[in-house]
């Protein structure tokens, strides 16, 4: 019996998600990809979202499920753990299996049988490019995502669903003037990036900042320009001398084969170390070669510039319209001080994580002549 979706947002979002995966598969084939996951149909997308949504509202031993579902057959899953008998996909089943698969990197494998019914065949840590992944973050909050084509690091988010709210990521945002490279990396599945890429490393730092949940500011300043010091109150609470350059050294390494996994583990540990410093009150400062310069720094008014009076706020989702507001309307002290820093230091960018999960990238827009605040939490979930 074919599953019928009753979660209205699932049916509403499914066509846009199907189109994304069709374009993704075509792009991967043009890049010479092989052993690619099949593109999911509208029926599969809406059914998986529906089951996951209702499962997210249930509890097992007072705990809400946190699960990741991947749509692929077992033969594309590397070395999967395969159940002796496949099990029909239902909210009840997902709730029961959730405690076993809630750790990061474990996916429940989903496929359909000859009758079109979806079932769970086992678990896997390995998924191919273009694989449809649905992650349950918290009750009622779901994210559709996939691995970037021939790349490492943060998955590309396609859609975020929270209750009746649907956010479809706008792929065209990467083509807009003044779009920061970090934002492009979060959106553009067609551009392979490796761990030894400074932009992708910044994405990993942002994801780690958001994950620690304390909130924080990360300022990224030019390597060969010290004018940023004019916007920092001295003495700096925790200066780092000499600059901590472990991330830069890791990016310079050329590794492959068996060494690659160990290298990525080292990158992960170093990223978490640096991102953890942003939980300390004040701003953490790195340069654009990923060298740590200071943390706990207080942002002040530059002697060479005035106060920021307005900024443009956008979110890279379909239907979003940018608005110009006073920076004080965008958030608390962190957001205001980050906007002020970028207003005075226009070659820098500022990443701000809130305790509630909101994440903003501040950059200067030469085209608009204004500070641009990009709300990117939908890309980092």
pLDDT at residue number 245: 95
pLDDT digits (tens, 9 = 90+) for 44-78: 999 999 999 999 999 988 899 999 999 999 999 98
Burial class (CB in 10 A: 0-12, 13-18, 19+), 335: buried
Query: Which tokens hold the place of 58?
Result: 């249930």
Q: Strand 311-314 relative to strand 370-375: parallel, antiparallel, unpaired?
A: parallel
- Domains in the chain (CATH in brackets) are 8-168 (no CATH), 181-379 (3.40.1700.10)
Asked whether the beta carbons of 204 and 154 are under 8 A apart, the reply is: yes
pLDDT at residue number 306: 85
Q: Is the pTM of this model over 0.95?
A: no
Give percent of the chain above pLDDT 70.
95
Q: How far is residue 80's CA from residue 126's CA, in Å, rounded to a whole number?
A: 8
pLDDT digits (tens, 9 = 90+) for 310-347: 999 999 999 999 999 999 888 889 999 999 999 999 99
Q: Does residue 191 have a pLDDT over 80?
A: no
């Amino acid at each position: 019996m074919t599953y019928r979706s009753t979660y209205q947002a699932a049916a509403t979002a499914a066509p846009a998600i199907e189109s994304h995966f069709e374009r993704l598969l075509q792009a991967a084939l043009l890049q010479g990809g092989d052993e690619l996951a099949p593109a999911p149909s509208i029926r599969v997308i809406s059914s998986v979202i529906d089951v996951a949504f209702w499962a997210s509202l249930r509890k097992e031993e007072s705990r809400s499920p946190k699960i990741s579902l991947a749509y692929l057959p077992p033969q594309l899953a590397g070395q999967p753990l395969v159940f002796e008998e496949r099990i029909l996909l239902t909210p009840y089943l997902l709730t029961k299996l959730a405690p076993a698969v809630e750790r990061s990197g474990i996916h429940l494998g989903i496929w359909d049988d000859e009758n079109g019914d979806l079932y769970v065949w086992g678990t896997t840590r390995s998924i191919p490019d273009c694989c449809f992944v649905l992650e349950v973050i918290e009750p009622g909050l779901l994210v559709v995502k996939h691995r970037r084509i021939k790349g490492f690091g943060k998955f590309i988010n396609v859609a975020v669903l929270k209750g009746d709210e649907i956010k479809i990521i706008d792929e065209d945002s990467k083509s807009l003037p003044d779009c920061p490279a970090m934002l492009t990396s979060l959106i553009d599945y067609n551009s392979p990036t490796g761990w030894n890429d400074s932009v992708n490393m910044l994405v990993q730092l942002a994801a780690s900042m958001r994950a620690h949940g304390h909130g924080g500011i990360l300022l990224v300043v030019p390597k060969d320009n010290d004018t940023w010091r004019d916007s920092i109150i001295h003495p700096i609470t925790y200066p780092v001398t000499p600059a901590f350059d472990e991330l830069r050294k890791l990016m310079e390494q050329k590794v492959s084969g068996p060494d690659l996994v160990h290298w990525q583990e080292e990158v992960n540990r170093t990223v978490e170390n640096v991102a953890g410093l942003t939980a300390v009150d004040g701003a953490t400062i790195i340069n654009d070669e990923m060298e740590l310069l200071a943390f706990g720094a207080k942002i002040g008014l530059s002697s060479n510039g005035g106060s920021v009076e307005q900024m443009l706020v956008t979110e890279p989702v379909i239907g979003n319209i940018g608005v110009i507001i006073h920076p004080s309307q965008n958030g608390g002290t962190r957001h205001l001080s980050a906007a002020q820093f970028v207003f005075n230091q226009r070659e820098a960018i500022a990443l701000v994580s809130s305790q509630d999960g909101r994440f903003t990238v501040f950059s200067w827009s030469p085209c608009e002549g204004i500070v641009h605040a990009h709300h990117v939490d939908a890309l980092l979930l």
